[in-house]
Structure 1
Amino acid sequence: MSRSFAAPLDAVDQVQRSADGITATKRIVATDPYLEGHYPGFPIYPGVFTLESVYQAARQAVQAGRGPHVRVELAAVRSVRFKAPLLPGDVLTVDCRLTDDPDDRGRVRAVADCRRGDGTASAKVTLELRVLRETTGA
């Protein structure tokens, strides 16, 4: 059986605004299906999912700040550095600073520091987001 889509991944459990951006959390659950094969006997939250956690949190914050008529897309992954694994039982915390591109109001830079629940740095991520106004067909 073939699917033309992938089931959406809930890569954040909670997003809260902070003074200079957002803080999001994601609980890493041992029974989540993506952990079974990554890696057998030593499950690790996939690095690409850490990127997705940052993207989903930043997207929610930008949409909340700019209103319901915007669409936020990933434009570029500027940098990623993985520092420590996220294991079942860990809680990923994403502290993300959002800044508008001064030359292009349609771009937002998201710089995220990711940590495990024990405070250990797990990743540093910088994304560039494209903000598009959605038009309604009337």
Structure 2
Amino acid sequence: MKRTYAAPLTAVDRAEVLPGKGVRAEKDVVAHDPYLAGHYPHFTIYPGVFTIESVHQAVRRMVAAERGDWVRTEIDTIVSVSLSAPLLPGDVLRVQADRVPTAEEDLVRVKALCRRSDDVVAAKMTLVLRVHPEEAP
């Protein structure tokens, strides 16, 4: 899978692809990760945009498992996002992204539910991702 996002942002630490259904993924929120520095001084919090990126990277892994590592997948449309609880250092973000059928082969639509370690819902979102197939190496 090609990395089309900026290093060092790894927004998924573990992922399990559920063939034909979706993907489950986890991200450990670690206080010393460089992108957390200064994000709300004195109240370190995982940025909401990174929660979206966690779902994006989880779906990228799903698409790569289904279509090959050489496929490029990027967000086409953010249909909806609701951020409802903060993700703090020490939390584990748990993503469940379920595939929603689409008529277009180059689009992948998912509804994602993101929970914290304590099972509190941190975010809900619906994303549409565009798949750009490239030739296999």
* TM-score, length of structure 1 as denominator length: 0.88
Q: Following TM superposition, by how much is the alpha carbon of 1:68 offset from its aligned partner in structure 2, in angstroms?
A: 3.5
Partner of 1:16: 16
Q: Which contiguous aligned blocks of 4+ residues in structure 1 show a shift greater than 4 angstroms?
A: none
Shift of 1:18: 3.3
Give 5+ residue unaligned stretches, structure 2.
Answer: none
Alpha-carbon distance, 1:8 to partner = 3.7
**Would you say 1:81 and 2:82 are equivalent positions?**
yes
Structure-2 separation of matches of 1:40 and 1:69: 39
* Aligned CA distance change for structure 1 residues 27 and 45 (closer, same or farther; 3 Å): same
Separation of aligned partners in 2, 1:64 and 1:89: 29
The C-alpha deviation readout for 1:40-87, integer Å capped at 9, x for no partner, is 101110000000000000011011111234221211111100010000
The letter of the residue matching 1:101 is T
- Helix, strand or coil for the counterpart of 2:106? strand
Q: Distance in 2 between matches of 1:69 and 1:42?
A: 39
Are 1:100 and 1:107, in contact at CA under 8 Å, matched by a contact in 2?
no
Alpha carbons of 1:131 and 1:117: their partners in 2 closer, same or farther (altered >3 Å)?
same
In 2 relative to 1, CA 91–136 (structure 1 residues): closer, same or farther, beyond 3 Å?
Answer: closer
Contact 1:58 1:98 in 2 (8 A): no
Tell me if the contact between 1:97 and 1:110 (Cα under 8 Å) persists in the aligned partners: yes
In the alignment, the residues of structure 1 paired with residue 31 and residue 136 of structure 2 have an alpha-carbon distance, to the nearest angstrom, of 42
* Structure 2 counterpart of 1:109: 109
Separation in 1 of the partners of 2:133 and 2:28? 32
Residue in 2 aligned with 1:41?
42
Kept after mapping to 1: 8 A contact 2:31/2:90: yes
The aligned counterpart of 2:31 is 30
Count of aligned residue pairs for this structure pair? 132
- Cα distance between partner residues in 1 of 2:116 and 2:125: 15
Higher-Rg structure is 1
Shift of 1:136: 6.3
- Distance in 2, Cα, partners of 1:41 & 1:68: 40
Q: Where in structure 1 are there 5+ consecutive unaligned residues?
A: none
Larger strand fraction of residues: 1
